[in-house]
Amino acid sequence: MLILFKKLVLALAFNISMFLVLMIGIQNSTNQKKVNLIVSETVSLPISFIVGFSFICGSISGSILNLNLTKKS
């Protein structure tokens, strides 16, 4: 159980640090687009934020799915 906790903490720490680097990196981004959702659309966001945030979400979901949550006997 301790190994699973360490893997989860490491994945979250890595993704939080990537998010902070993303926030610093998009400070001078001028290209902005709106994301079309099913109901409405978002405010204008920098393209680098949209791409970086989707990468981070994929990394989080991949690391959570990779955890072996079944008990081994």
Question: pLDDT at residue 71 above 80?
Answer: no
The whole-number pLDDT of residue 48 equals 85
Cα–Cα separations (whole angstroms), residue 71 to 20, 22, 46, 63, 68: 35, 37, 43, 18, 8
**Extents of the domains making up the chain:** 2-66
Per-residue pLDDT tens for 15-38? Answer: 999 989 888 888 887 888 888 888
CA distances from 67 to 1, 5, 9, 35, 60 (A): 11, 10, 12, 31, 11
